[in-house]
């Protein structure tokens, strides 16, 4: 098997023995849980579209290892064309799901490791790259979803890993054995963690010699002994338990995050891709971050949905022809397409690494992600402006369906005579979901903090902008000789 269907993907998750906790209790049926299942269905969309002929060029590619057709999410970029199609794939899936579809992090981890393992081998004559290629072949052959686990809890941010009062605030190696290593720690904010077959761990920041026990990268099955998941809360998450579907906004899809705990977990050597090479920790972080900042093409797709919802709300409210409404829709499109320009630009200017893998342009990827920390918030503000206050004061679906109150909800929330009250309520709930509810995690908060903080991007922009060259150009034009 090389490419799973959406149905096979769901079945494969059901075979995992994941240890998942939510609301203080263990979740017995992870796949069927009504709060988790919408996020699983979003990942399943990445499998479904790969089998649709109209999306074959974007969603699939021929493996440079096996020569077989594979899902692009398991591919190592072989040229700028691959990087461009990655951006197009992200926008497509964001538009199809209206939320985070969770599979980008693992793809970006695989590509970053394909670069860094090769470079470590070149310096230290280790065997990481060969191990990695064997692992990659396994992921491609089985079409696996991987969780890229980089973010540590970090504890006191003013201190490096080896000086933390609690040494487990950064994931670390606590024991070396003949057949592998034992690790302890946690990874926070893990998007799509319980929808993944594999977890790929990476260091979270640049390190020094004293931090070498924390300079570790490896991959394990997501249900390996000692790994536990604690689900994060999202705004309005329990609406999925209330029956009906109107109040959820997005009826089909969603996302999730989790704290992933590694409680003295054994990792065999053939799954280890970095061990104590602290001088390469920073490179792995930066390569992964550049890839993942490009991946925020997905927010353009969600932006497409939000713009469509705002236009629909304007029409349902009877204000679509107002000049200020038209101008707001234009501004939303302008901001959204500007984001798309950024992810396409950093892909187009990609470069070939010694391993043969193509990486995005670091400067442009960070500029793109810096815009993502800002523009979706303005797009969301404009959508809320257009929607009106009813978006957050609507009665519940149960009130709408109630024999006692339904007639009043129907009567007093009717607007355009050709639009049903129910349809008006549904589009307003979708806007609420994307800008304030469960999808807001993936669209707004993730836009701000995903792939590193805004300050991390500014640091990379400062490093990559080549100010001396700009100064030379200016001095030359005005006759300054030094």
Final residue of a domain: which of 278, 313, 338? 278
Question: Does 239 share its domain with 311?
Answer: no
**Alpha-carbon gap, residue 286 to 145, rounded angstroms:** 22
Which pLDDT score, from 0 to 100, does residue 439 have? 75
Question: Does 260 share its domain with 368?
Answer: no
101 backbone dihedrals φ, ψ, rounded to 5°: -100, 5
Which pLDDT score, from 0 to 100, does residue 1 have? 67
Question: Does 217 share its domain with 337?
Answer: no
- CB of 284 within 8 A of CB of 203? yes
Sign of torsion, CA 88 92 95 97? negative
- Which tokens sit at 8? 């096979």
Query: CA-CA distances (angstroms) from residue 157 to 37, 148, 170, 209, 421?
Result: 35, 22, 11, 18, 50
Strand partners, 341: none
Residues annotated catalytic, as ranges = 100, 104, 191, 257, 292, 296, 298, 446
- Which tokens sit at 456? 């991390």
What lies within 8 Å, CB to CB, of 472 at 6+ separation is none
* Domain assignment of residue 440, yes or no: yes
360 backbone dihedrals φ, ψ, rounded to 5°: -70, 165
* Domain assignment of residue 283, yes or no: no
Question: Does 422 share its domain with 353?
Answer: yes
Question: Does 37 share its domain with 97?
Answer: yes
Question: Does 80 share its domain with 132?
Answer: yes
* Count of structural domains within the chain: 2
Question: Does 243 share its domain with 306?
Answer: no
Which pLDDT score, from 0 to 100, does residue 417 have? 95
**Alpha-carbon gap, residue 434 to 442, rounded angstroms:** 8
Question: Does 255 share its domain with 153?
Answer: yes
The enclosing domain of 447 has a CATH number of: 1.20.140.10
* Domain assignment of residue 433, yes or no: yes
Question: Does 131 share its domain with 244?
Answer: yes
* Domain assignment of residue 207, yes or no: yes
Question: Does 316 share its domain with 443?
Answer: yes
Which pLDDT score, from 0 to 100, does residue 35 have? 95
Which pLDDT score, from 0 to 100, does residue 148 have? 97
Neighbour-count burial of 404, counting CB atoms closer than 10 A to its CB (0-12 exposed, 13-18 middle, 19+ buried)? exposed
DSSP 8-state assignment for residue 442: I
The low-confidence residues of the chain, meaning pLDDT below 70, are 1
* Domain assignment of residue 477, yes or no: no
- CB of 44 within 8 A of CB of 10? yes
**Alpha-carbon gap, residue 270 to 127, rounded angstroms:** 10
**Alpha-carbon gap, residue 306 to 335, rounded angstroms:** 12
Final residue of a domain: which of 255, 278, 301? 278
Residue 61 belongs to domain spanning: 6-278
* Segment 281-330, tens digit of pLDDT: 999 999 999 999 999 999 999 999 999 999 999 999 999 999 999 999 99
pTM above 0.85, yes or no: yes
* Domain assignment of residue 111, yes or no: yes
* Domain assignment of residue 479, yes or no: no
The enclosing domain of 50 has a CATH number of: 2.40.110.10
Using the structure block, give the residue that is written with the tokens 């240890």.
19
Question: Does 154 share its domain with 303?
Answer: no
* Domain assignment of residue 287, yes or no: no
Final residue of a domain: which of 278, 307, 340? 278
- CB of 282 within 8 A of CB of 205? yes
* Segment 398-422, tens digit of pLDDT: 999 999 999 999 999 999 999 999 9
Question: Does 269 share its domain with 416?
Answer: no
């Amino acid at each position: 098997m090389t490419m799973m269907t959406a149905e096979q993907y769901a079945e494969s998750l059901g075979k995992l023995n994941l240890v998942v906790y939510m609301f203080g209790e263990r979740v017995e049926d992870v796949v069927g849980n009504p709060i988790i299942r919408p996020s699983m269905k979003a990942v399943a969309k990445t499998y479904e579209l790969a089998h649709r002929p109209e999306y074959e060029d974007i969603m699939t590619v021929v493996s440079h290892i096996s020569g077989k057709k594979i899902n692009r999410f398991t591919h190592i970029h072989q040229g700028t064309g691959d990087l461009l199609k990655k951006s197009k794939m992200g926008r497509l899936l964001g538009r199809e799901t209206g939320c985070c579809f969770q599979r980008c992090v693992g793809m970006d981890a695989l590509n970053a490791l394909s670069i860094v393992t090769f470079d470590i081998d070149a310096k230290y004559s280790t065997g990481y790259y060969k191990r990695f290629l064997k692992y990659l072949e396994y992921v491609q052959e089985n079409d696996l979803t991987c969780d890229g686990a980089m973010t540590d809890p970090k504890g006191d941010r003013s201190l490096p890993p080896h000086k933390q009062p609690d040494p487990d605030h950064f994931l670390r190696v606590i024991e070396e054995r003949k057949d592998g290593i034992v690790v302890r720690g946690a990874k926070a904010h893990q998007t799509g963690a319980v929808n993944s077959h594999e977890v790929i761990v990476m260091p979270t920041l640049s390190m020094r010699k004293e931090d070498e026990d924390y300079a570790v990268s490896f991959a394990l099955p997501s249900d390996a002994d000692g790994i536990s998941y604690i689900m994060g809360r999202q705004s309005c998450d329990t609406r999925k338990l209330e029956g009906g579907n109107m109040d959820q906004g997005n009826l089909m899809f969603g996302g999730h995050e989790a704290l992933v705990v590694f409680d003295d977990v054994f990792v065999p050597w053939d799954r280890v891709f970095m061990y104590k090479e602290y001088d390469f920790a920073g490179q792995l972080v930066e390569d992964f971050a550049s890839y993942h900042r490009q991946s925020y093409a997905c927010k353009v797709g969600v932006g497409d949905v939000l713009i469509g919802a705002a236009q629909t709300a304007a029409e349902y409210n009877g204000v679509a022809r107002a000049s200020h409404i038209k101008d707001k829709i234009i501004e939303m499109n302008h901001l959204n397409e500007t984001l798309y320009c950024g992810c396409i630009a950093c892909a187009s200017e990609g470069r070939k690494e010694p391993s043969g893998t193509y990486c995005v342009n670091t400067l442009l990827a960070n500029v793109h992600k810096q815009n993502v920390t800002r523009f979706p918030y303005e797009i969301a503000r404009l959508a809320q402006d257009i929607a009106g206050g009813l978006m957050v004061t609507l009665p519940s679906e149960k009130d709408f369906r109630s024999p006692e109150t339904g007639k009043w909800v129907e009567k007093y929330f009717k607007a355009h005579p050709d639009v049903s009250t129910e349809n008006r309520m549904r589009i307003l709930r979708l806007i609420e979901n994307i800008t304030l509810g469960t999808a807001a995690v993936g669209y707004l908060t993730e836009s701000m903090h995903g792939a590193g903080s805004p300050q991390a991007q500014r640091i990379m922009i400062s490093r990559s902008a080549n100010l001396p060259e700009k100064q030379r150009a200016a001095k030359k034009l005005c006759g300054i000789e030094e």
